[in-house]
Amino acid sequence: MAVPLRRADGRTTRTVQDGGPRSFKGGLADQSEATTQLHTATHLLYKALRRVLGDHVVQRGSNVTADRLRFDFSHPAKMTAEERDEVERIVNEAIEHDWPMSFREVPTKDAFDEGALGAFGDKYGETVKVYTAGDPNGEWYSKEICGGPHVENTGALGHFG
């Protein structure tokens, strides 16, 4: 999926599916502020894709630089313009909600039991970091097994689309 992200500082970051290095540690080129923002946006995007397309959507990879993000996911059909618009609307709603981002280290089984998403099942160790957009013990938008880095609040992302 390729859309621009208007960051909180007013700059627009293009998210495209081509160009740049092909392999990064954890899908990230670096841990700069811009890369961190786009990486956090992948969490919001993943949740929105599952809400619009269905729970069968599974992350297959990502590639994030300071200038763009690529998010690979499974789905049997090409997304329609209406689906893309709805995903964008949901992501922006999550940004505007200004969810806090937090993490906890928990046993891998517990992470899955509490609803965390993680597409790389047998590659995880005994414990994992679970990042939550929202309250990990209350209302939350997104909960994923991830190594980070992330912004402190989703509002720091600006505008998606």
pTM of structure: 0.81
C-alpha–C-alpha distance, residues 49 and 41, integer Å? 12
Q: Is 130 exposed, middle or buried (0-12, 13-18, 19+ CB in 10 A)?
A: buried
How does the average pLDDT of the chain come out, rounded?
Answer: 84
Query: Under a CB-based contact definition with an 8 Å cutoff, are residues 36 and 151 in contact?
Result: yes
Q: What is the DSSP letter of 142?
A: E
User: Is 111 or 15 the better-scoring residue by pLDDT?
Assistant: 111
Give the DSSP H or E segment for 134: strand 127-134
CA dihedral (100, 104, 109, 112) in degrees, to 10, reads 10
User: Is 19 or 126 the better-scoring residue by pLDDT?
Assistant: 126
Q: What is the pLDDT of residues 40-57, one digit of tens each?
A: 999 999 999 999 999 999
What is the reported pLDDT for 121? Answer: 72
The token pair at 145 is 């097994």
Q: What is the DSSP letter of 28?
A: B
Q: What is the pLDDT of residues 88-129, one digit of tens each?
A: 999 999 999 999 999 999 999 999 999 999 977 778 889 999
